[in-house]
């Protein structure tokens, strides 16, 4: 095993300026994966 990722989460918080409302966007929630020898990992963003 080359890479092991466990329980990764990512949230983005946005605020509306006029209404002062806060929005939380959950893009990853407890994601886990393994990268084995000979496999590829692509990260797009």
Would you give the DSSP letter of residue 37? T
Q: pTM for this one?
A: 0.60
Q: Give the 3-state secondary structure of residue 26.
A: strand
Which pLDDT score is estimated for 22?
86
Would you list the domain boundaries of the chain? 3-35
Which pLDDT score is estimated for 31?
94
> Tokens 């929005």 correspond to what residue?
23
Which pLDDT score is estimated for 34?
96
Q: Assess contact for 14 and 25: CB atoms under 8 A.
A: yes
CA angle 27, 9, 25 (to 5 degrees): 30
Q: What is the pLDDT of residues 32-42, one digit of tens each?
A: 999 999 999 99
Q: What is the pLDDT of residues 3-18, one digit of tens each?
A: 999 999 999 988 877 7
């Amino acid at each position: 095993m080359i890479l092991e990722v466990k329980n990764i989460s990512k949230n983005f918080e946005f605020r509306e300026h006029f209404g002062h409302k806060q929005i939380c966007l959950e893009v990853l929630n407890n994601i886990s994966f393994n990268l084995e020898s000979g496999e590829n990992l692509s990260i797009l963003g």
